[in-house]
Amino acid sequence: MSQVSFHELSSVSAEAYQDLLRRSEADLSGFMEKAKPIIEAVKTEGDAALVRFGQDLDGATSLTAATLKASEAEFDAAFEAVDSEVIEAIRHGIANIRSFHEEQKPAPMWFKEIKPGAFAGDRYTPIRSVALYVPRGKGAFPSVTMMTSVPAVVAEVPELAIFTPPTPDGGVDAATLVAARIAGVETVYKCGGAQAVAAAAFGTETVRPAHKIVGPGSPWVVAAKQLLSSVIDPGLPAGPSEAIIFADDTVHGGLAALDLLIEAEHGPDSSAYLVTHSRRVAEEALAALPNHWAKMTDLRVGFSRTVLCGDNGGIILTSGVEESYRFINDYAPEHLELLSTEPFEHLGHITEAAEILMGTHTPVCIGNFALGPNAVLPTSSGARTFGPLSVHDFVKCSSVGYVTRPAYAEMAKHSRVLARYEGFSSHENAVSELRDPYLEG
């Protein structure tokens, strides 16, 4: 049996330290080369390429051009197929997600008098069309539908469409359709991977093109987003799942092990570390993992073993809490749990994490499904410059300015000086005496 990777950080070399920070998708060159012909096929062949890839790559042999878009009947049937308990959980999650994101929504406009007679502000309008990517390769994820759809609907994006791989029978995961309708999205296209990103970018006979695509995906999706970034806004970098579980000496290591498995079970390309400065916690976590694995499905055990026994996961024992903070900030994780009876003591030391869940009652899965903050998060150290998906990802800002006659003279004078210094004669002329005859009054 493979052993869980165990690292004592104080004895790790500088090179090995950098290896610990590396994610599974660090090198996308292979995926990008293979994605190029897929993208070109969708661009030139449209629906025919989407059908072919759906049949060949997703095994949806019955998929046709006529069924690429989910029908109203499929939506209706989904509500009959999904257990009422699941529908109730979806409704609960969407209600909380909507409540959270409504607080994020900016006012349509703000305007301030910068100086007497000179006004400036910001005006927010929704992006006209956005594609919402919902993966399906390693399971069904209605929660991603919830997290991408709700803020987009709150932002009032007029054209929304979900892109998700077809099921083998040429359909769509029923709970995904349920979540889409409850959230307020009625357009679902049955395509995934690089071909979905290409369809969203270029459009096809069936698929309407979008200005932006958001949502997590496989390395194929991430590669396609990079390749098409000049055609469609790829949104925040959201690839395979990753998490750090930080545990101090106030908690049991078995609890840390339980939560360590949450993101590790997503797939073999996930990343998951327990970071602790307590050897007791580390040893308790190691001892607890076999018992936790015994209560999981074989598929998820396989995924999580690959992660925790490989190069992108395991247990990191630090020499002290400051070293723990340093590693966490260097790693800049997608998900971070602060497992402690006093989590606020640690919060101020963390500056690089997309999501910070605090205390023993806030595991990552509650953040993923029920709490309200968005669980579509930047990966691969994207937390250094990106935050969670939000209403702000679905709106754009226009600055607005208005200068009246009383404020014009002073601003024109200073603008002329800077225009002259920078060598822009037309800039200078536009605020010179040449303008005066044209001004009203």
Catalytic sites, residue numbers: 334-335
Distance CA 389, CA 52 (A): 32
